[in-house]
């Protein structure tokens, strides 16, 4: 299988199922690493803080690609049920959102600020006709327009941007990592928190989860989290449509209806 870029001939690259041609298992003799091309230079800082698996090396190829290699860890991604029940998920998110060193590094590598309005625009831009004419999705979109949350850009922090259960890797040594940082941004931490709560935590347990995270669930905070839980769900519906995963899209719409009813 063609990998589409030049690389050291001593390494054998094995494309990983479910990725978009960017990630590979790299093997050389008895060595095994996780290889990805053109990932964010922010990865080094994440590795240093133990949030992602250890960064082994970074190389630049003759074709201009940047290749990173991380230690290969045997393990599994978390299930949907596990994400909402593990305290180490809460701890890692809190670490990411409160880390000044990660904030400085993301600024250094040109991280972008993403506001609530920006996310609304991401959904609406070139929206497929089928979604545009869906009466329920239109109703939800109008609600989001009318209830844009306010949050000072001075308070923006590092946000992962895609904390779905497939991006939580649990090693065989029971060490949890948050991986796939291609959507990293500066934003309201409620982007990540809303995704976790909306997708994986029953409403009756939101207060307990937030207290573990370190937040007092005030009316303002709950409104922001509810808004982002809906917004990120709308974006997920759009992604599933573009991939032509219509069964998945309909399941996401069912989840949206549950979250919107909160």
List residues with catalytic annotation.
162
Q: How would DSSP label each residue in 19-34?
A: S-SSEEEEEETTEEEE
CATH number at residue 139: 3.90.1200.10
Asked if residue 95 and residue 49 are part of one domain, the reply reads no
Asked if residue 255 and residue 147 are part of one domain, the reply reads yes
Nearest to 36 by CA among 59, 8, 68, 9: 68
What is the extent of the structural domain holding 66?
A: 12-72
Mean pLDDT of 91-113: 97
Q: pLDDT tens digit string along 177-208? A: 999 998 999 999 999 999 999 999 999 999 99
Helix and strand tally (H, E) in the chain? 11, 10
Question: Does 53 score more than 70 pLDDT?
Answer: yes
| Structural domains in the chain (count) | 2
Q: Tell which wins on pLDDT, 2 or 83.
A: 83
Question: Does 80 score more than 90 pLDDT?
Answer: yes
> What's this model's pTM, rounded to 2 decimal places?
0.89
């Amino acid at each position: 299988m063609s990998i589409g870029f030049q690389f050291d001939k001593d390494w054998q690259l094995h494309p990983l199922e479910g990725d978009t041609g960017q990630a590979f298992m790299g093997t050389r003799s008895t060595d095994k690493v996780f290889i990805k091309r053109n990932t964010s230079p922010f990865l080094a800082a994440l590795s240093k803080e133990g949030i992602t698996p250890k960064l082994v090396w970074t190389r630049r190829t003759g074709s201009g690609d940047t290749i990173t290699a991380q230690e290969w860890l045997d393990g599994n991604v978390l299930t949907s049920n596990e994400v909402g029940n593990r305290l180490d998920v809460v701890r890692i998110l809190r670490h990411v959102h409160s880390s000044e060193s990660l904030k400085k590094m993301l600024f250094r590598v040109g991280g972008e600020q993403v506001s609530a309005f920006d996310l609304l625009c991401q959904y609406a831009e070139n929206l497929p006709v089928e979604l545009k004419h869906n009466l329920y999705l239109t109703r939800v979109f109008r609600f989001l327009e009318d209830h844009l949350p306010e949050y000072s850009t001075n308070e923006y922090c590092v946000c992962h941007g895609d904390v779905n259960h497939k991006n939580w890797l649990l090693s065989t040594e029971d060490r949890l990592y948050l991986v796939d940082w291609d959507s990293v941004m500066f934003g309201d931490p409620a982007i990540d928190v809303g995704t976790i709560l909306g997708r994986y935590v029953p409403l009756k347990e939101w207060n307990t989860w937030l207290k573990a995270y370190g937040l007092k669930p005030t009316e303002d905070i709950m409104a922001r989290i509810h808004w982002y839980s809906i917004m990120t769900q709308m974006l997920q519906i759009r992604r599933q449509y573009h991939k032509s995963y219509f069964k998945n899209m309909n399941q996401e719409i069912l989840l949206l209806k549950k979250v919107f009813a909160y």
